[in-house]
């Protein structure tokens, strides 16, 4: 079971890394930098509040489209789409 979870975490990390490469190819690496800040808080607290700056909104839109993050409008909070993505985010540190 542990081996399966480790493999799933590697796949989640791979999804995140592929998103980074896609952003860099489009000269939008600054969005990934915003994601790294958000990921640190998600790993620590399990969620983050929605920010208001344009870069944060672009990051949220991109990673929600990739189904890595999930925005809950009723409480204005952002969650990882699954606990496996939290494990993938931990590998970014």
- Full pLDDT tens readout for the chain, 93 residues: 888 888 888 889 899 999 999 998 989 999 999 999 999 999 999 999 998 899 999 999 999 999 999 999 999 999 999 999 999 998 886
The range of the structural domain enclosing residue 58 comes to 2-90
Confidence at residue 30, expressed as pLDDT on a 0 to 100 scale: 92
Count of the separate structural domains present in the chain: 1
Quote the strand ranges of 1-93, DSSP E.
48-49, 69-72, 77-80
Confidence at residue 91, expressed as pLDDT on a 0 to 100 scale: 86
The encoded tokens of residue 47 equal 């969620």
- 71 phi/psi in degrees, rounded to 5: -100, 125
Q: What is the CATH number of the domain that holds 22?
A: 1.10.10.10
CB 85 within 8 A of CB 13: no
Largest Cα–Cα separation, the chain? 41
């Amino acid at each position: 079971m542990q081996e399966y979870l480790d493999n799933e975490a590697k796949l989640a990390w791979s999804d995140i890394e592929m998103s980074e490469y896609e952003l860099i190819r489009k000269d939008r690496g600054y969005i990934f930098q915003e994601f790294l800040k958000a990921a640190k808080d998600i790993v620590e607290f399990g969620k983050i509040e929605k920010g208001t700056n344009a870069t944060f909104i672009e990051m949220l839109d991109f990673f929600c489209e990739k189904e890595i993050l999930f925005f809950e409008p009723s409480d204005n909070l952002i969650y990882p789409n699954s606990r496996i993505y939290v494990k993938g985010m931990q590998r970014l540190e």
